[in-house]
Every structure is written in C-alpha cells, then in structure tokens.
C-alpha cells in the first residue's frame, strides 16, 4: 500500500507533539487536525479505551478521507480501583488544566502512603484506513504518584507520574526519553512496525 500521509485524530496538542516526534523517522507526512483545519470534537461515550479510540479514528477518517490515527489514553491508579481511567481528561471537570488534574489527584491520595501509590498509564492507538479497515494497539507504562508535582514538561498528569527506572517524573524527563518508554510510545512502536510492513508491500 502506498502511504504518503497520516492524520492524527486528536485535539490535545501535548499528544500531537509526542506523536509527530515518534513518527518523524517513517518518511510519511504527519498532520494534526489543526494542521488540516478540522475543528471537530468527537464525543467519548465508550466504556473502554479501545471503544473511544476506534470512535475518534473512524469519525475523523470519514470526514477527512485520510489514513487516520487516534489515541485514547488515561491514568489507572491502583489505590483508586483504576480510576480515573477512561475519564482521565474529565477527572477535574471539562477543560481542566494539568495543574487542576494533578491537584485533584494529589488531594484524593493525600492519606495514601508512598508504597500504595502505584499507577499505570494506558494508551490504545487505533489506525483506520479509508476502506474502513482498522487496527488497535495497546501500550502501558508503570509508575507511581508523587506526593507533590515536579517538573514543567509534558502535559496532563506528567508532573505527578514518577518512573522508578529514571528516578524522575514524566514532566522532568526530556521528550525524547518519555518517547522511548511511555504508554503511547509503546503503542506507537507497534503501529510503526505495522506501517513499515505496509510501506514495504
């Protein structure tokens, strides 16, 4: 299959930055919704990351006619029975800032000791082709929730998500490092393997 360009079905500019950087070595033009002037917010009413990611990619593929890639992701905190999960973006209300999300989470975990603050980020990435064919790929990244926000990079919950192997939060990590180990990076590595195989056909 000839693949020249891909559309990223996300309105989250933090994700756009990460995804474009991860895809930069494929030799494909990667566009965001903003780049293409598409101003659509897909309602996320699915019960799983995969349902939401499929819905986002399918709706945007229909509008654009392009090969479309979406990501639905979120933070699962073990002490909160995997909340906020698929509701991560709306956990502190519609349009909440990274600071509001982090503060609400730290407040909810204020009585939870250090060794019970385990969490994981989950990403399900979906690619939809103009003929309707689709594929879903999942990535996870284990970590824990800090006692206070640290670092100024990234987006969302990055300032409170601590990665043991690096002894720092995602917000303290350079983008190139986060893009080697994050949930989204792991799902995208699988997507890239799939696309490379398609490109060689």
Q: What would the 3-class secondary structure string for 80-118 be?
A: HCCEEHHHHHHCCCCCCCHHHHHHHHHHHCCCCCHHHCE
Query: Which residues between 112 and 151 bind ligand ITT (CB under 6 A)?
Result: 121
Q: Is 170 in the site for ligand ITT (CB under 6 A)?
A: yes
Which one of 154, 163, 179, 192 is in contact with ligand ITT (CB under 6 A)? 154
Q: Sign (positive/negative) of CA torsion 3, 39, 14, 59?
A: negative
Q: Is 10 in the site for ligand ITT (CB under 6 A)?
A: yes
Which one of 6, 60, 69, 101 is in contact with ligand ITT (CB under 6 A)? 101
Q: How far is the CB of 66 from ligand ITT (least distance, A)?
A: 16
Tell me if 55 sits within 8 A of 62, measured CB to CB: no
Count of residues of this chain found to bind ligand ITT when the rule CB under 6 A is applied: 23
Which of the following is catalytic: 35, 72, 131, 193?
Answer: 72
Distance separating alpha carbons of residues 4 and 192, to the nearest angstrom: 14
Q: Which among 21-29, 59-67, 72-80, 125-133 is the span making contact with ligand ITT, rule CB under 6 A?
A: 72-80
- Residue 144's nearest CA partner among 190, 104, 113 is 113
Q: Is residue 72 annotated as a catalytic residue, yes or no?
A: yes
Q: Is 103 in the site for ligand ITT (CB under 6 A)?
A: no
Place of tokens 């983008």: 175
Distance separating alpha carbons of residues 193 and 197, to the nearest angstrom: 6
Instruction: Report, as residue numbers or ranges, the catalytic residues.
Output: 72
Contacts with ligand ITT by CB under 6 A lie at 10-12, 15, 44, 56, 71-75, 88-89, 101, 121, 154-158, 170, 182, 184
């Amino acid at each position: 299959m000839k693949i020249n360009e891909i559309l990223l079905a996300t309105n989250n500019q933090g994700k756009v930055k990460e995804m474009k950087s991860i895809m930069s070595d494929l030799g494909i033009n990667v566009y965001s919704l903003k780049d293409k002037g598409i101003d659509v917010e897909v309602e996320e009413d699915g019960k799983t990351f995969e349902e939401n990611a499929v819905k986002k990619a399918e709706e945007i593929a229909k509008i654009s006619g392009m090969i479309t890639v979406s990501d639905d992701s979120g933070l699962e905190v073990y002490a909160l029975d995997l909340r906020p999960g698929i509701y991560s973006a709306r956990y502190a209300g519609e349009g909440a800032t990274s600071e509001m999300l982090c503060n609400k989470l730290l407040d909810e975990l204020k009585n939870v000791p250090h060794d019970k603050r385990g969490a994981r980020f989950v990403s399900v990435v979906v690619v939809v082709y103009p003929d309707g064919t689709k594929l879903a790929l999942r990535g996870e990244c284990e970590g824990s929730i800090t006692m206070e926000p640290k670092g100024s990079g990234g987006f969302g919950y990055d300032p409170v998500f601590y990665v043991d192997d690096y002894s720092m939060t995602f917000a303290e990590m350079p983008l190139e490092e986060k893009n080697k180990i994050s949930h989204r990076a792991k799902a995208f590595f699988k997507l890239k393997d799939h696309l490379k195989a398609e490109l060689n056909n």
